[in-house]
Structure 1
Amino acid sequence: MAKTRTLVQKRHNPPTELELGRAEGYQAGWNEGYWFGQCESIISRIPPVTGFWPVHVMYVSTGKGLPYSPLDEAVKDTLSGMVAQLTVVKTGEPVAEIAARVRPDYVIVLDGLQFDVAQIDAMRALNIRTAIWFTDDPYYADITSTLAPHYDTVFTLDRNCMALYQERGCMQVHYLPFCAMPAQFRPMKPERSKRKEISFIGSGYMNRIQFFNEAASYLASRDTLISGIWWDRLKDFDSLRSIINLGDWLTPNDTALAYNASKIVINMHRAYDDPFNSNSLGVTASSPNPRTFEISACAVLQLTDVREDIASFYTPGVEIVTYESPQEMVEKLDYYLNHENERKEIAIRGMHRTLSEHTYAHRLHAMLSILFA
C-alpha cells in the first residue's frame, strides 16, 4: 500500500522546471525541423531554369566591394552555366584590349558607374556588341542617362527609367528587375541566441529615419534588430542604441542568417529624392529593390512599403505584406507577431514565388534570350 501511495504521489507531482524546459525545447526543435522540412520539400519541386547558348560572353564586373561583390558573384556563377564560354574581367582592366583579342559575342557590364565608356566606344568600333545592366536606377539617373547611349542594349531594374533612356537615344531598352541568388539567400537554421522578432538590415536614408522615428517606441518594446550605417540620425538614437548595430555592413551569408533569425523582416525602399542621390531629373521609382526578393527567398514574412510595381511580382496579403504609414506598419507587425500560422503561410508562399520566378537564373535567361534572339 505504501509503495502504491508513493507512485500516486509521484504521478500527481507538478513537472519540474527542468522537465518543462526539456519539453519546451523538444517542441521548439520539432516545430523548426518540420518548418525547415516543408521549405526543402517545396524547393525540391521547383523546376530548374533551363537554357544554354553556344556563345562567348565577356562579363565586366563592378570590381567594387560590398554590397556589389555578391551581385558580381551571382551574375558570374549563373552565366557560367548558361553560355559556352565566359570571360570575366573587372572594371579598371584594359577591357577593350582584352575584348579585341578574345572577340566575345557580347560584352555585359554590371552597374557601369565607374567604367570608362571610352572602352565601350572602342569595342563597338570593333563591331563587338555591348550591354549594361544598371543596378541602382533611378537613384543615379543624372549619371546613368549619360552612360546609357554608349551601349547597344540597356537593361534597367526600374520600369520608370525606360522612357528616360529611350529619350536619350537608346534603341534597345529593356526592363530587367533584380532578384535573389538561391545559393546566397535561402531557408537556414540560425543560432537560437541570434533570434529576433523584427529586423531591418540597411542604411538609414532620411525617409527611413523619419519613418522609424514614428515607430521607435514600438520597435524598442519588441525584440528588434536594426543594422546599418547612419542610424545615429534617429531622434531617439540613445534610447534605441541597444537594438542597433551601427555601421555594420553584412555579407550576404550574414544578412541571410539575420533574415532567417527573424519572425518578420521590414523592407523600406530608398526615396528617389534622397539628398545622397544623383537624381536631379526627379525620376521616380516604381520597382522593388533587390532586398524584396532576398528576404522572400529566405521564407520569412516580409513587411514592405508600397511600390507601384510590387504587385507584378508578389500578391499583397498572400505572398508579401505591405504598409503605407508608420501606424499601419506597427499594427501589422503586432498582428503577425501574434498570428504565427498566417505569418508562416505568407512567408512560405513568398519563398515559392521567388524561387519559381525571381532568381538570377530567371533574369539572365531573359537577358540572353533578348541579346541572342
Structure 2
Amino acid sequence: MSSTVDTIRHEVARGGHGTLVVVFSTLPDALNRNASLELYASEALARLLDVKVARTSASLARETVLALKPALVIGIGSVVPDHVDYAAVARACRRVQAPLVYWLHDDPYEFDYNWKIEGGCDWIFTSDRATIDFYRTSAVSHLPLAADVTRHFRPIVPIRERGTDVFFCGVGYPNRRTVVSTIRDVLRACATEIRGDGWDERLPFCRNERLSPEAMIDRYAAARIVLNIGRQFNIGNRQYDLVPSTPGPRLFEAAAAGCVQAAFLESVELFDYFARDTEILAFSSVGEFADIVDHVRGDPDAATALADRAQARARAEHTYDHRMLAMLDVLQRNRLFNPAGAAARSEDKTHG
C-alpha cells in the first residue's frame, strides 16, 4: 500500500467513529483546474452529517477504496483522461460493496466521454439540466454547481463605494470574445477590468492574468457590475451537439460575493436560480447592456439592494451544503445510501 494511502487512513482514524465517505477528483492533479470543487463538496458533507470524508486523487481512488472500505464513493469532475482507469474504481467499489456515484461538472462539453462510467456506477449527477435526457441510463439527476459557504461570501460594500465599474474573470473562449467585442464601446467608457487567459490585450481593459480563486472573489466584491458570460468550448460533444442550459459556478460565486451580475442571456434557466431584474440583470444586445450600466451607476442604492437580495438567495438555496443535501436525498430515496444506517456497516467492513 502506498504511503499516501497510509496517510489518508491515519487521518481518517484520527477522526473517530462515523460513516466513511471517499471523495475523489476524477482528473489527475496535473490536469485539474477545478480541484476546489471537490474540496467544497467534501467539506459540505462533513459539515452536514456525522461523516468522515477521505479525499483522494484519481490515481489513488481504487487503492483508497480497497484500503478504507467506505460506505459511499463520490467522483467529482471530468472523465475525459484516458489514463484514468474508471472501470478499476468501479470494481473496487463492488468488491467492498460501496455505492459509486459521479458528479460531472463539464456536461455537455465532454458528454461523448461519459460512456466510460455509464453502466459502471450507481448514479450520475450532471451539472447541466439539458444533458439529462441524452444519457442511456435513468440513474441520473441534475445537480448544478454552487457557492462555498466559507470562501465565497463577502460583506456587501455599497455599490457607490466600489472602484471598478465592470469586471470579468475567465478564459477568453471564442463566444466570450465575441460578446466582449460586441459591447466593447460600452466597456471602454467604464472602469473595466477583464482578466484570465486568451484575451486580446489590444483592448485596453483586457489583461492575460490568472487570479487565484480568493483574489477573484475579492475582485468580484469590489466591482459595481460582474459580467457573466458562459463558455462554449466543446471537447467531446459531437454525438448530439448539445447546447448547455445550466449556468456555471461563477453565477453562484459572484452572487455570494454580493455582486450585481449582468448575465449574457443564453438560457432562461438562469432565472430558476435568481429572479430577473430583482436578483440578477440580463442582456442580449449592446443597448440592453448599456442600459444596465447606466442603471447601476445612476441608482447605486437600488443596485446595492439587488446585490443584497442575490447574496441572500445564494445563501438560502445555492451553496455546496444545499447541493450535497440534494445528492444525499436522491441516494437515500433510491436506497443507495442511508446516512443513518451506514456507520455500522462501514465499521463492520473495516474490522471484518
Same fold (TM over 0.5): yes
Aligned pairs for 1:80-91 (under 5 A) are: 80-81=46-47, 82-91=49-58
Partner of 1:277: 235
Q: TM-score, normalised by structure 1?
A: 0.77
- Which residue in the other structure is 1:123 paired with? 92
The answer to whether 1:142 aligns with 2:133 is no
* SS across alignment from 1:294: helix
Q: Show the 5 A alignment for 1:276-355.
A: 276-280=234-238, 281-306=240-265, 307-355=267-315
> Structure 2: how far apart are the matches of 1:172 and 1:63?
26
Between the two proteins, what is the percent identity of the paired residues? 25
The answer (yes or no) to whether the contact 1:140–1:279 under 8 Å persists in 2 is yes
Which of 60, 74, 79 is residue 108 of structure 1 equivalent to? Answer: 74
State whether structure 2 residue 19 is matched by structure 1 residue 55.
yes
Which of 39, 48, 51 is matched with 1:73 structurally? 39
How many correspondences in the alignment? Answer: 306
Out of 118, 124, 131, which is 1:154 matched to? 124
1:188 Cα shift? 4.6
User: 2:330: which partner in 1?
Assistant: 370
SS of match in other structure, 1:174: strand
Q: Over residues 170-228 of structure 1, what are the superposed CA-to-partner deviations in whole Å (9 max), with x where a residue is unaligned?
A: 231111111000211112589x9993111011111111111111211221121010001
The answer to whether the Cα contact below 8 Å between 1:57 and 1:83 also exists between their aligned partners in 2 is: no
- The amino acid of 2:286's aligned partner reads P
Quote the offset at 1:304 in angstroms.
0.6
The one-letter code matched in structure 2 to 1:261 is: A
Establish whether residue 266 from structure 1 lines up as the match of residue 227 from structure 2.
Answer: yes
Matched-pair contact (CA < 8 Å) for 1:162–1:174? yes
Letter in 2 for 1:123: A
Question: What TM-score results when the alignment is normalised by the length of structure 2?
Answer: 0.81
Is 1:287–1:309's contact at 8 Å kept on the other side of the alignment? yes
In 2: Cα distance, 1:221 partner to 1:163 partner: 44
In structure 2, distance between residues paired with 1:216 and 1:328: 13
Render the CA deviation track for 1:219-273: whole Å, top value 9, x for unaligned: 11210100011112xxxx42x23x2221x222121011110110110101112xx
CA separation of 1:214 and 1:335: change in aligned 2, threshold 3 A: same
Q: CA deviation at 1:80?
A: 2.0
CA distance in 1, matches of 2:281, 2:138: 37
Residue 132 (structure 1) aligns with? 102
Which deviates more, 205-214 or 120-129?
Answer: 120-129
Alignment partner, residue 255 of structure 1: 216
RMSD across aligned positions (CA): 2.3
Q: Equivalent residue of 1:334, what SS?
A: helix
- For structure 1, which segment, 201-210 or 56-65, has the greater mean C-alpha deviation from structure 2 after superposition? 56-65
Q: CA deviation at 1:90?
A: 0.8
Distance change (3 Å), C-alpha of 1:255 and 1:188: farther
SS at match of 2:263: strand
**Aligned partners of 1:207 and 1:86: how far apart in 2?**
38
CA contact (8 A) 1:180 1:297 kept: yes
> Quick one: which amino acid aligns to residue 215 of structure 1?
I
Which is worse superposed, 362-371 or 54-63? Answer: 54-63
Paired AA for residue 242 in structure 2: V
CA distance in 2 between counterparts of 1:336 and 1:122 reads 55
Tell me, which stretches of 5 or more residues in structure 2 are unaligned?
Answer: 1-16, 334-352
- What is the deviation of 1:369? 2.0
Q: How far does residue 98 in structure 1 lie from its aligned partner after superposition?
A: 2.5
Distance 2:28 2:219 in 1: 26
Mapped contact 2:73–2:93 kept (Cα < 8 A)? no
Q: Are residue 206 (structure 1) and residue 184 (structure 2) matched?
A: no
Q: What amino acid sits opposite 2:171 in the alignment?
A: S
> Residues of 2 paired with 1:73 and 1:118: CA distance?
23
Question: Which has the bigger relative contact order, CA under 8 A and spacing at least 6?
Answer: 2
CA distance in 1, matches of 2:316, 2:156: 22
Aligned residues of 2:183 and 2:286 also touching (Cα < 8 A): yes
| Residue equivalent to 2:29 | 64
Q: CA deviation at 1:116?
A: 2.1
